[in-house]
Structure 1
Amino acid sequence: MNKLIKKTLKLILPIVLGGFILYWVYRDFDFAKALDVLTHGTKWGWMLLSLVFGVLAQVVRGWRWKQTLEPLGAFPKTGDCINAIFVSYAASLVIPRMGEVSRCGILSRYDDVSFAKSLGTVVTERLVDMLCIGLITGVTVLLQFPVFTLFLEQTGTKIPSLLYLFTSVWFYIILLCGIGVIVLLYYLMRALSFFEKVKGVVLHVWEGIMSLRNVKNIPLFITYTVLIWLSYFIHFYLTFFCFSFTEHLSVLAALVMFVGGTFAVIVPTPNGAGPWHFAIISMMMLYGVNATDAGIFALIVHGIQTFLVVLLGIYGLVVLSFKKKSTAFTA
C-alpha cells in the first residue's frame, strides 16, 4: 500500500504543482481573447516552421545518443534511437524525468543494448546539456544584465528587504518550484541507492558515463550538440513571428526568455507547465508586452509545443510496435 501511495504521489504532485502555478498565473485571464488569437491571430506558417526545428532537435539528439553508445560496443539502429527519444519526451509529460529511463528500456528491449550502460550515456548527455545551458546563460546575462536584474527585482528574488520577500506572491511561486526540484533530486538519489544494491549495475552506469572519452568523432559530437541547442532556440524564437504583439521582439529578448524558460522546465511539472508560463510572461512584460498578450503567447506556444511532443511520442510508439522485440533484456 505504501508503494502504491508513493507512486500515486509521484504522479499527482507534479500535476498539482503545475496546476497551482497555472491557476495563479491565469486566475483573471481572458481565455476568450486567447481563443480568438489562436483562431484568427496566429500566423500558422511561422508556427509550422517552428515545429520543424522542434522535431529536428529531437532527431539530432537521437543521432548524438547513438554516437555515445558506439564506444560501448552498442550499435542500435538510428531509427530506434530517434523513436526512443520521441517516446522519452512524451513519457516525461506523464511522470517528469521518466523519459531518461524509458528510452534506455526501449533500446534494451529492441536492440540488446545494456540498460545500465545506456543510462550512463544519458547521464553524460545531461552533463553536456548542463554545460551548454551554463554557457548560454553566461553569455545572455552578460548581454542583457539589466533585464535579469529587473526580473529578479520584480519577482521578489532579489531581496531589498525581508518584508518585501515575504509579501511577494511571485517569490512563493519560485519557492514552490525550488521545492519541486528538491523533491525530484530526492527521488533520483533514492533511485541511485536502489541501483547500488544491484550487483554490477553501477559499474555499467559508470562505463556509460565515461563513454564520451572514446567517442570517435568529437567534432561531429560537438556539431550535434550545437545543432540541438540551436534548434531548440529557433524552435522558440520563430514563435515570436506568429503574433503581432511579439513579432517586433529582438533575438536578444528571445535569448533571455529562452534561458528563463530552460531553467523553468527543470521544475518537475509536465513539460514545465506553470513555471515556464510564469518565466516567459514575467520576462516578456519586461520588453513592453502587456500581461494579457504575454499570457496568450505562453498559453498557445506551450500548448502547441506540448501537442507536438505528444504526437511524436505516439509516432515513436507506433513505429516501435511493428518491430520485433529482442529475445534478451540486457541489464
Structure 2
Amino acid sequence: MKPFVDIVKFIVPFAVGIGILWWMYRGNDWSATYQMLTSMHWGWMLLSLAFGIVPPVFRALRWRLALRPLDEHPPLRVCTDAIFVSYAASLVVPRIGEVTRCGTLKTYAGTSFSQALGTVVSERVVDSVLLVLLTVGAALLQLPQYLHFLHTTGAAPLQLLQHFTSAGYLVTAVCALLALGFLALLVARMSFFRRGREKMVSFMAGIASLRRVRPLWAYLLYSIGIWAGYYLHFYLAFFAFPATASVDPAAALLAFCIGSFAVLVPTPNGAGPWHFAVKTVLVLYGLAEAPVVAFVLLVHTIQTALVVLTGAWGWADLLLIKKQSKTATL
C-alpha cells in the first residue's frame, strides 16, 4: 500500500501542474510565442538570471549564521551547493528540497540532520512573515491606483471578478485545496520526529537557535536580500520583452507576491499555479492576455532551466569536494 501512496504523491503534483498548463495553453498561438522568444532582449534576461543566483547564496550565508549557535560550522561552499541541489530536487519531487539540503549537509559537512532541519523550519517562518509583509506593502502601494481606477471607471470591486471564468474559479479552488492538503500532510509528518527524544530535542534546538543568532542584523539583512533578489529576478525579466517592458514596479511586485503564494501549491517549481496567478494579476492590470500568457511561460521555463543548471553545478561541485576529501586522506 505504501508504494502505491508514494506513487500517487509523486504523480498528482505533476498531473495538477500539467492540467493547469494544458487549460491555459490549449488555444495558444505558438507562432506568436516563438516570435516573442526571438525578439527577447537577452541582456535583460541574463541580468535577471544573475539575480536568480543571489538568493541561494544569501540563503547559504543565512543558514550558516543559524547553525553557528548549535556549534555547527559547515563550509559556505557546501551550504551553497546543498541549496542549489535542493532546488533542483524539488523539480522532481515537490517540497523534497528541505530534506535534501539537510541530508546533503550531513553527508558532506557532518552537520546534525535534525538540527539543520530545525533551522530550516525557522527560515520558513521568517520567510513567510516577510512575504506577508511584502504582500501587504505591495497592496497598499497599489491602493491609490486601484481607488482611482474605480472612481474613473465607476466599476464596483466585485465586477473585477468577472474577468474570471468558471474554469478560473475551479483552478483557484483546486490550488487552494492542494496547498491546504500539503500543509495538513506536513503537520501529520511531524510525528516522524517523535520516534526518538534525541531527534526531537535536536529539532527544537534548531528552531530555537534563531534567538541566539549573532549578529541578528546580518540574519535579517540576508533575509531581506533573499526576497529582494527574487523580486529583481522576476521584475527585470519584464524588460526582456517589449510587450511587458512598461509594467509598473509596484504592479510587478504585487504579481510577484501573488505568484510566490501560488508556489505553495506542491507542483514542480510552481508550474501551473504560478503561471495562472501571475497571468491573472497582470491581465487585471490591463495587459493583453496573449503576450502575458507567453511571458509567464517563457520566464518560468528560462528560470526553471537556471534551477536545473545550478543544481547540476552544485551536484558536480559536491562530487569534487568528495574526491578532494578522499585525496587528502591518502
| TM-score normalised over the length of structure 2 | 0.91
Equivalent residue number for residue 248 of structure 1: 246
Quick check: 298-307 or 142-151, which moved more?
142-151
Deviation of residue 90 (structure 1)? 0.7
Structure 2: how far apart are the matches of 1:150 and 1:289? 19
Deviation of residue 151 (structure 1)? 9.4
Asked whether 1:153 is paired with 2:161, we answer yes
Equivalent residue number for residue 188 of structure 1: 186
Letter in 1 for 2:10: L
**1:60 touches 1:224 (CA, 8 Å); kept in 2?**
yes
Asked whether 1:36 is paired with 2:35, we answer yes
Deviation of residue 62 (structure 1)? 0.7
Structure 1: how far apart are the matches of 2:60 and 2:41? 30
Letter in 2 for 1:122: V
Equivalent residue number for residue 210 of structure 2: 212
Give the unaligned 5+ runs of structure 1.
Answer: 157-166
Equivalent residue number for residue 51 of structure 2: 53
Asked whether 1:12 is paired with 2:11, we answer yes
Structure 2: how far apart are the matches of 1:151 and 1:216? 50
Quick check: 203-212 or 143-152, which moved more?
143-152
Equivalent residue number for residue 170 of structure 2: 172
Equivalent residue number for residue 163 of structure 1: none
Letter in 2 for 1:297: F
Question: In the TM superposition, what whole-angstrom CA distance separates every residue of 1:227-266 from its partner, at most 9, and x where no partner exists?
Answer: 1111111110001100001101111111111111111101
Question: In the TM superposition, what whole-angstrom CA distance separates every residue of 1:104-142 from its partner, at most 9, and x where no partner exists?
Answer: 000111111000000000000000000100110111111
Equivalent residue number for residue 26 of structure 2: 27
Letter in 2 for 1:303: T
Equivalent residue number for residue 162 of structure 1: none
Asked whether 1:3 is paired with 2:2, we answer yes
Question: In the TM superposition, what whole-angstrom CA distance separates every residue of 1:140-192 from its partner, at most 9, and x where no partner exists?
Answer: 11122438957972465xxxxxxxxxx72211101110121122123212321
**1:151 touches 1:286 (CA, 8 Å); kept in 2?**
no
Letter in 2 for 1:119: L
Secondary structure at the aligned position of 1:107 is classed as helix
Deviation of residue 68 (structure 1)? 0.4
**1:155 touches 1:168 (CA, 8 Å); kept in 2?**
no
Asked whether 1:89 is paired with 2:87, we answer yes
- Aligned positions, number: 315
CA RMSD, 1 decimal: 1.9
User: Which aligned pairs between 1:64-143 and structure 2 lie closer than 5 A?
Assistant: 64-143=62-141
Equivalent residue number for residue 154 of structure 2: none
Give the unaligned 5+ runs of structure 2.
Answer: 151-156
**2:48 touches 2:232 (CA, 8 Å); kept in 1?**
yes
Structure 2: how far apart are the matches of 1:57 and 1:245? 27
Letter in 2 for 1:13: V
Query: In proportion to residue count, which structure has more helix?
Result: 2
Equivalent residue number for residue 237 of structure 1: 235
Deviation of residue 284 (structure 1)? 1.1
**1:89 touches 1:313 (CA, 8 Å); kept in 2?**
yes
Deviation of residue 9 (structure 1)? 1.0
Letter in 1 for 2:13: P
Equivalent residue number for residue 297 of structure 1: 295
Identity of aligned residues (%): 44
Structure 2: how far apart are the matches of 1:7 and 1:152? 41
Letter in 2 for 1:310: V
Quick check: 195-204 or 289-298, which moved more?
195-204
Structure 2: how far apart are the matches of 1:46 and 1:151? 36
Question: In the TM superposition, what whole-angstrom CA distance separates every residue of 1:48-72 from its partner, at most 9, and x where no partner exists?
Answer: 0000000011111111111100000
Structure 2: how far apart are the matches of 1:237 and 1:204? 39
Question: In the TM superposition, what whole-angstrom CA distance separates every residue of 1:206-228 from its partner, at most 9, and x where no partner exists?
Answer: 10001111111111111111111
Structure 2: how far apart are the matches of 1:110 and 1:46? 36
Letter in 1 for 2:25: Y
**1:155 touches 1:171 (CA, 8 Å); kept in 2?**
no
**1:151 touches 1:283 (CA, 8 Å); kept in 2?**
no
**2:160 touches 2:284 (CA, 8 Å); kept in 1?**
no
